[in-house]
Amino acid sequence: MKIKFYIIAATLVMVASAVYAGNPDRQGQAGAWELLLNPWGRSAGLHSMSTSSVQGIEAMRINIAGLSRITKFEIGVSNNRLFSGTGMNFNSLGLGVKMGKSSAFGIEFASLDFGQIPVTTVNQPAGTGGFFSPSFFQLGLGYSYTYANKISVGMTMRLVSESIQDVTASGFALDAGVQYVSGPKDNFKLGISLRNVGSPMAFGGEGLSVKRDNPDPAGGVNYELTYDVRAASFELPSMLNLGISYDYYLNEDMFIRGLGNFTSNAFSRDQLGAGVEFSFRKLVVLRAAYKHSLGGISDETRDVYTGLAGGASIEVPITKGGANNLGIDYAYRATNPFNGTHNFTLRFSF
């Protein structure tokens, strides 16, 4: 079993090495950054660093290997108020279903809401009176399998679409992950995830067409020709996460989880962070984390999500015995600049 884990982990690292091989000057040149947004409250309260311990539908955003650790069925909805004061929201709907004893299938739909943006033109820079809203959405399909409750592996295929009026870009992203747990109460956890590896994207459509006079009018008749402007393609924001955690039980009902995580970004600064969770009877959970970007930091290369994050969860039993639960999660992440991001999640598990 351990040999299988080492083989899978080594494969992920080798694939990641191929992805990240290149010039550091690539930093800042990727697009589709909404792939890095995390709408789920539990993992957001840990700055999305729960690579080793994430479970359920949230695993589709952090480490797909944790999806198969749900009991039977889990569904969740979330609202992420991005950068307070900007009016932007990131909403998500997730569904996870257990298939047999060891595998699970998941679906996640996420949409980025920019609000109503005034239409301006060269001749009317103050606005035409009209409004528009870009459409950014993602659809992910994931599968995870657990070997003897020790090693979990998984993979997610995600469709990415961005559109604004008559201009559209679309592509596919692939996530893969592995988790390993050990100890008398599964105290020790190790996780590796490779995210957002996929096809380059490029914008196209009628919105990039322009009309110009024909440079060589036939028979002296002037008329216009339509030219298609080709937009440059851009890569997806690939990243590799390495995480570790350990649960220290104070008694049968309470434990403290400490975790650490390293993120290697292909198009931004690498990040290192740590977090802690306190769980009481698995009914009330408090969490906090700190994340730091490595290397020289300037206003041009700063990652907006650095510093402190925190949150809490409440599990409300729906039926006697705790087989069915209602979960409410909240998280706050400090941002620089802006005024922070708030996450709200409502979960049902059966």
Residues of the chain by 3-state class (helix, strand, coil), percent to 5:
15, 50, 35
Residue 34 lies in a domain: yes
pTM of the model: 0.86
Task: Tell me: cis bond preceding 337? Omega within 30 of 0 counts.
Answer: yes
Residue 256 lies in a domain: yes
Residue 216 lies in a domain: no
pLDDT of residue 209: 86
CB 73 within 8 A of CB 349: yes
Residue 323 lies in a domain: yes
| Domain interval for residue 138 | 2-22+29-117+133-200+235-349
Site of tokens 């920019």: 114
pLDDT of residue 342: 94
pLDDT of residue 8: 54
Residue 25 CA, chain-centre distance (Å), reads: 24
Residue 157 lies in a domain: yes
> Which of 343, 338, 34 shows the shortest CA–CA distance to 163?
34
pLDDT of residue 84: 83
| pLDDT by 10-residue block (mean), the chain, 350 residues | 54 51 62 92 95 95 94 94 88 95 95 89 86 92 92 95 91 94 91 92 88 75 82 90 94 93 87 94 93 72 82 89 85 88 94
| φ, ψ of residue 332 in degrees (nearest 5) | -130, 130
pLDDT of residue 144: 96
Structure tokens at 340: 């922070």
Residue 70 lies in a domain: yes
**Total domains, the chain:** 1
Residue 126 lies in a domain: no
pLDDT of residue 333: 94
pLDDT of residue 123: 86
pLDDT of residue 121: 84
The enclosing domain of 341 has a CATH number of: 2.40.160.40
Residue 229 lies in a domain: no
